[in-house]
Amino acid sequence: MTSPAFAPARLSVGIISAGRVGTALGAALEAADHVVGSVVARSQASRARAARRLPESQLLDARTVAARSELLLISVPDDQLVAVIADLAASGAVRPGTIVAHTAGAHGITVLAPLTDLGVIPLALHPAMTFVDTDDDVLRLRSACFGVTAADEVGYAIGSSLVIEMGGEPVRVREEARTLYHAALAHGANHLVTLICDSVAALRIALVGQEIPDEARYSAAPSDHLADGLAQRLLAPLVTAALRNALELGPRALTGPVARGDAAAVARHLQALLDADPPLAQNYQAMSLRAASYTDAPADLIDVLKGDLS
């Protein structure tokens, strides 16, 4: 990887707050020799997480953290971001020239306007990664892309440098495209999880029968009925290969009855799923119709996929 065009000095970093994302980024910044001097951690879980990932950092209130920081990282849930920014702006604690970055995917730098008006350098640094509160979170940052939005070229240089130092790849995202960017990531990641859970549920019913209670069908952990994780083992090699092929080949990776235009097979699938779990059948129908749009689907297949399942 080439050296960044702009390498910031070692910065005193403050984090609001000690959630999964904030502490993972803090650990990555400390690995790059920045100093996470202070963190906001209100809940018991946040304090424990900060102690584990950032043991040298002081736990302080937001105003004190902001006043002490050269880089202030705001990593709070999206629905709290506007209020946190407004409180910081009203406090007068954030100094002009402070680099202020938030990690919300759907927002650019417009949301930081109350602080930008005070002379800060605004950044949106969103790691396109899922965080599960394990040591893998920090490791995964080294291969993650970050959606970067800034006010100007200097801001992009600072943001890109910070991302590269954390081992990630900076990707410019236009201010007006942030919501679409975030929707695309949520669609790919979260709906993939939903799809896999549905597939595991259908396999459990197929392998054991309808007597499996609903909570066991959809549990992420192997159920008592399939304690060895058989459904997951059946599915894992197939979906792993499919994901890799989709990323490499796009729609050409489609296989199976929809790709072949086999309306009769799809109709049988829908009936079997309808007998097992009607909402799952509806999801299969909707996803198959979308898959068919990537192919030269015959009319009889489209008729099946647009048919009434009731």
Domain limits, the chain: 12-173, 181-305
Q: Which residues pair with 12 in a beta bridge?
A: 35
The chain-wide mean pLDDT, for the chain, equals 93
187 vs 164: CA distance, rounded Å: 26
DSSP state of 2: P
pLDDT for res 2: 44
pLDDT tens, residue by residue, 40-84: 999 999 999 999 999 999 999 999 999 999 999 999 999 999 999
Please tell me the predicted confidence (pLDDT) of residue 310. 80
User: For the structural domain made of 12-173, what CATH number should be given?
Assistant: 3.40.50.720
pLDDT, tens digit (0-9, with 9 covering 90-100), for 242-260? 999 999 999 999 999 999 9
Mean pLDDT of 267-279: 94
Q: Which of 26-30, 48-52, 196-200, 254-258 has the lowest mean pLDDT?
A: 196-200
- Report DSSP state, residue 220: S
Beta-strand runs (E) in the chain: 12-16, 35-40, 58-59, 71-74, 99-102, 121-127, 145-150, 169-172
Nearest C-alpha neighbor of 211 from the set 199, 197, 223, 228 = 223
Q: How confident is the model at residue 209 (pLDDT cuts 50, 70, 90)?
A: confident
Asked if 259 and 295 count as a contact pair (C-beta separation under 8 A), the reply is yes
- For residue 296, pLDDT over 80 is answered with yes
Percentage of the chain lying above the pLDDT 90 cut: 85
Q: What is the mean pLDDT of residues 201-223?
A: 71
